[in-house]
Amino acid sequence: MPAAPPIPVAEAQRRIVERIEPLDAERVPITRARDRVLAAAVVSKLDLPPWDNSAMDGYAVRAGEVHPGGPHPVVLDLPAGARSGQSLPPDGVARIMTGAPMPIGADAVIPVEQSTGPAGSGAFAEPGEEVCFEVRPEPGANVRRRGEDVSQGSIVLESGIVCRGSEIAMAASAGHASVDVVRRPEVAIVSTGDELVEVEAAGTADRIVNGNAYGLATKIEQAGGVARPLPIVPDEPDATNEAISDALTSDAVVTIGGVSVGGRDYVRDALVANGVEIVFWRVALRPGGPFAFGVAGGRSVFALPGNPVSALVTFDLFVRPALRKMSGHERCFPRHLRARLAEPISTRSDKTYYLRCRLEPNGSNEWSASITGPQGSGVLSSLVAADGMLIVPEGVDNLPAGAMVDFVPIDDRIAWQKAVA
């Protein structure tokens, strides 16, 4: 039977994510929850703030009793951490610091900057001394009400939210030392090839380093997964079968190489022998066309071509979105930017090309895209130099300088610049 023709990139992406489900949940301490996706809503155990408190360093007063210009005795001292429930005696004011509980009876805070004490304008009076105020405050001025941010029992973080600094601060403030998050997918890496050695043996005659495994392990961890690199597999059917059988104990499997039409490419046969349904093989894409995706009982298999750039690019296009979905993310694909070509490019129109390029602001509120060098699927240096990839869609061949193209960032390089603008 002839093999099915290569499918478009977008169709491949759709067919992958529709076969992926988020993993189950686990509870982790909030100190380990960074970048994890909440599997359950977080409900506050507390009111925030937990009591009426001062928003300023100053004096807690009864607004109606303030006589602008007249002296007021300082009868209470309320530093942060002061006991709540203290009463403000009639005709007195309380020295109060930001966050300290409002004394019973007081309804406003006058900032110290708007007061004059024995030591002068803007300087605190000591308890027992007197203070004068410039103006009478509105009731409620500079008071934060109990529960005005969060009320006890309310949802403060919805399920599906990604835990970053602000979310962790909220969970902690709401009384949670741990949260329920979606489990990280464990991803086995199977490198195939008689020519491969690990990095410790770099320089061995007739051998190349299994560089892809290290790069992909890094990308798996960046994508939220846990990488499980397995030993290099020789190009032999039995060894390939056994390696894939072992790898299929993980949530997902990434194989490298051996998935093309070479005489010793055994990966697809080994997948089938292990009961993997091959959902598709080959994408109309360069670099990275001979990519296959399969599923086996809730586990997914991504068979990446061996050429280094092909492997890394197909990871970004097909594996990372799947790992994000497994990890609970609703947003699985990077946003594309629009950029203006700094130079003409020529490709073939039969497939989508992803070209390594650098982006620079061009001074007209636009991005300018320049190719970083030779685009062969084994050329890592032009990938290292790139901020991302520009996309020449199927059906397009030559593009002139100045044409607008889609650009997809790699990692977050373009998010950063050397100096403030």
Question: Which residues make up the interface to Mg ion (CB under 5 A)?
Answer: 193, 257-258, 306
The answer to whether 189 contacts ligand AMP (rule: CB under 6 A) is: no
Of 185 and 305, which has the nearer Cβ to Mg ion? 305
Residues 194-213 as x/- pattern, contact with ligand AMP by CB under 6 A: -xx-----------x-xxxx
- Closest CB 384 distance from Mg ion, rounded Å: 23
- Rounded Cα gap, residues 144 and 109, in angstroms: 10
- Closest CB 194 distance from Mg ion, rounded Å: 8
Binding span for ligand AMP by CB under 6 A among 30-38, 169-177, 250-258, 314-322:
250-258
Contact 61, 106 (CB under 8 A): yes
- Closest CB 308 distance from ligand AMP, rounded Å: 5
The answer to whether 308 contacts ligand AMP (rule: CB under 6 A) is: yes
Closest C-alpha among 396, 355, 395 to residue 374: 355
The answer to whether 388 contacts ligand AMP (rule: CB under 6 A) is: no
Count, residues in the chain: 421
Closest C-alpha among 219, 211, 220 to residue 191: 211
The answer to whether 48 contacts ligand AMP (rule: CB under 6 A) is: no
Which partner, ligand AMP, Mg ion, none, binds residue 307 by CB below 5 to 8 Å per kind?
ligand AMP
Of 212 and 372, which has the nearer Cβ to ligand AMP? 212
Q: Contact with ligand AMP (CB under 6 A): which of 106, 157, 190, 256?
A: 256
Phi first, then psi: give them for residue 324, nearest 5 degrees: -65, -40
Of 213 and 371, which has the nearer Cβ to ligand AMP? 213
Which partner, Mg ion, ligand AMP, none, binds residue 388 by CB below 5 to 8 Å per kind?
none
- Closest CB 296 distance from ligand AMP, rounded Å: 22
* Three-class SS state of 212: helix
Burial environment of residue 156 by CB neighbours within 10 A (0 to 12, 13 to 18, 19 or more): buried
Which partner, Mg ion, ligand AMP, none, binds residue 305 by CB below 5 to 8 Å per kind?
ligand AMP
The answer to whether 193 contacts ligand AMP (rule: CB under 6 A) is: yes
Which partner, Mg ion, ligand AMP, none, binds residue 308 by CB below 5 to 8 Å per kind?
ligand AMP
- Residue 198, Cα to own-chain centre: how many angstroms? 30
Closest C-alpha among 349, 351, 418, 411 to residue 386: 411
Q: What is the DSSP string of 283-297?
A: BSEES--S-EEEEET
Could you list the beta-strand ranges (E) of 195-310. Answer: 196-197, 208-209, 226-229, 252-256, 277-281, 285-286, 292-296, 299-304
Of 193 and 287, which has the nearer Cβ to Mg ion? 193
- Strand 186-191 with 58-61, pairing: unpaired
- Rounded Cα gap, residues 75 and 52, in angstroms: 19
Q: Contact with ligand AMP (CB under 6 A): which of 99, 305, 328, 409?
A: 305
Binding span for ligand AMP by CB under 6 A among 156-164, 189-197, 325-333, 382-390:
189-197
Could you list the beta-strand ranges (E) of 266-419. Answer: 277-281, 285-286, 292-296, 299-304, 337-341, 345-346, 352-361, 367-371, 388-392, 398-399, 404-409
Instruction: State the residues that interact with ligand AMP by CB under 6 A.
Output: 191, 193, 195-196, 208, 210-213, 256-258, 260, 262, 305-308
